[in-house]
Copies of this chain bind each other. A is one copy, B any other.
């Protein structure tokens, strides 16, 4: 399995922009080979007057061009096909992000679910500077919606909880993100000084997505690459990217843009790690190493005593078991972290046994 994946990765066209139709190009890539897909698909629905297919070809006016249901069916077919192609190349523990507005996001979300993707969160990008509703006939459309999904129920996925929490000043990151739209120098211009792409996404949005749900070295694919925001941020953050874009003008702008990008320092990319990532230390090791002696008494926060046994289990009255099991039993709780629950006595002071675990861990480095 590892060999197969590695082989696939070796043949991936990393850090390039593929020229062509995204469905065909994805079909040409090896299955189970990319870690993350970020997709900002077109949603040219409900544009009265001219009705275009997602591939920009014009819909034949004879077959009820202005019939809504006809256009939805068409859009749904397109969505089904590109999502299926994306699903094939996604690793089993990979994830996908899609972004849309109310015109298309309900079709996207429903089709994701139909194909077995498992929605992890929907995220609202709350625009701090949206375009107002000029005619005063509706609410200011001030947000877009992203959907984050794993490949299926129970599948693993990458989530850098602590990094996002750090990014949010120490409180866990919420599903609503306030970020400005892409303007100023960041907004790419064409030769005429007009905006190079109508819906260029801000780099801040991709920064949060990639920092939170990929690791350095991961492969990120964007099938609707446009002017390459995904590629630019991936490069900054030390991730590999693959872009697919059928418009030569966009590819050209994206190439130049990404060439200018500098990767961040290596130690700037190190991110606040989760405790879960730290090596596991069996409690028995404290006994083996003589940090705690068999027979020694540990004390709970409420003063209950338990005696350490030679095999690294505890006994408190008639309750025997691991540090976690005995703690849970004493508290009548479904579970208990014995490391932070129990204390030992040293020179008259009570010290958490977690201090001893830290000591072992620091020796391991």
Binding site for B on A (CB under 8 A): 46, 50, 52, 56, 58, 68-69, 72, 101-103, 105-110, 112-114, 116, 119-124, 126, 128-130, 132-133, 136-143, 145, 147-148, 153, 159-164, 166-170, 172-176, 178-180, 186, 202-204, 207-208, 211, 236-237, 264-265, 267-272, 274, 280, 282-285, 287-290, 293-295, 307-313, 315, 320, 322, 331, 333-336, 363-364
Q: Contact between A110 and B110 (Cβ–Cβ < 8 Å)?
A: yes
Q: Which residues of B contact A137 (CB under 8 A)?
A: 159, 161
Complex alpha-carbon distance, A180 and B183, angstroms: 32
Complex alpha-carbon distance, A336 and B54, angstroms: 9
A148 to chain B, nearest CB (A): 8
Q: How often does this chain occur in the complex, in copies?
A: 2
A206 to chain B, nearest CB (A): 9
Q: Contact between B310 and A237 (Cβ–Cβ < 8 Å)?
A: yes
Q: Contact between A333 and B172 (Cβ–Cβ < 8 Å)?
A: no
Known contacts A124-B124, A142-B176, then 9 further A-B pairs from the complex at CB < 8 Å, ordered by chain A residue: A69-B116, A102-B109, A105-B109, A123-B139, A130-B174, A136-B161, A139-B172, A267-B315, A268-B294
- CB < 8 Å neighbour of A364 from B128, B133, B295: B128
Complex alpha-carbon distance, A130 and B207, angstroms: 25
Q: Which residues of B contact A69 (CB under 8 A)?
A: 114, 116
